[in-house]
């Protein structure tokens, strides 16, 4: 039996949406080097729709595959929908992960959530600034 499903290996070998977005509307980084996985997500958002997403990951095969799959699942989706992304959905879309690797999918969910939080925070700040300017 292989360590990972075909889907995981595909996303690990050919990760989708790798890279950075300059001046992203939302950026989130989760995990730490101590535990061995770090994920960073960059979002470009137009009219509350995720028009582009990129990631960078330091981590194992399932961490890279989970980041890749998570970006695919939210790309082109409204922000409200992306907020609902669960680690279970990421793992299922990858045809499953070994039990002791489920934390990688959790990290992907958290990375997206963190980038969206950053987006909302920036948006709120901008609105306050707009109010001041007026």
Partner 1 sequence: MIYADNAATTKMSSRAIETMVSLMKETFGNPSSLYTIGQRAKEVLEQARKDVAEVIGADPREILFTSGGSEADNQAIISAAKIGEKKGKKHIISSAFEHHAVLHTLEKLKKEGYEITLLDVHEDGLVRPEELEAAIREDTCLVTIMYANNEIGTIQPIREIGAICRKHGVLFHTDAVQAIAHVPVNVVDDNIDLLSSSAHKFHGPKGVGFLYAKKGVLLSNLIEGGAQERGKRAGTENVPGIAAMAAALKEAAEHLEENSEKLKKRRDQLIAGLREIPHSALNGDETRRLPGNVNFCFEGIEGESLLLLLDDKGISASSGSACTSGSLDPSHVLLAIGRVHDVAHGSLRLSLGEDVTEEQIHEIIQSVKEVVEYLRSFSPIWRDLMAGKKPFIL
Applying CB under 8 A, the residues found at the interface with partner 1 are: 9, 12-13, 15, 18-20, 29, 33-40, 55-64, 100-101
Show the tokens assigned to 86. 């669960």
83 binds, among partner 1, Zn ion, none (CB under 5 to 8 A by kind): none
Show the tokens assigned to 69. 């799959």
60 catalytically annotated = no
40 binds, among Zn ion, partner 1, none (CB under 5 to 8 A by kind): partner 1
89 binds, among Zn ion, partner 1, none (CB under 5 to 8 A by kind): none
Which is catalytic among the residues 6, 14, 20, 35?
35
Please give the residue whose beta carbon sits closest to Zn ion in the complex.
60
Phi and psi, residue 9, nearest 5°: -65, -35
117/111 Cα distance (integer angstroms)? 10
The CA-based angle 50-105-16, given to 5 degrees, is 50
Q: Which of 42, 55, 109 is nearest to 82 (CA)?
A: 109
Residues catalogued as catalytic: 35, 104
């Amino acid at each position: 039996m292989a360590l990972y499903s075909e889907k995981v290996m595909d996303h690990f070998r050919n990760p989708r949406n790798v890279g950075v977005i300059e001046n992203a509307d939302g950026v989130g980084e989760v995990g730490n080097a101590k535990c061995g996985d770090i994920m960073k997500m960059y979002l470009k958002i137009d009219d509350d729709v995720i028009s582009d997403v990129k990631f960078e990951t330091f981590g194992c095969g399932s961490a890279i595959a989970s980041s890749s799959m998570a970006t695919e699942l939210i790309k082109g989706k409204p922000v409200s929908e992306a907020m609902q992304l669960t680690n279970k959905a990421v793992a299922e879309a990858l045809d499953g992960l070994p039990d002791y690797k489920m934390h990688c999918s959790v990290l992907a969910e958290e990375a997206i959530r963190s980038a969206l939080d950053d987006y909302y925070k920036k948006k709120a700040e901008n609105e306050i600034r707009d109010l001041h300017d007026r």
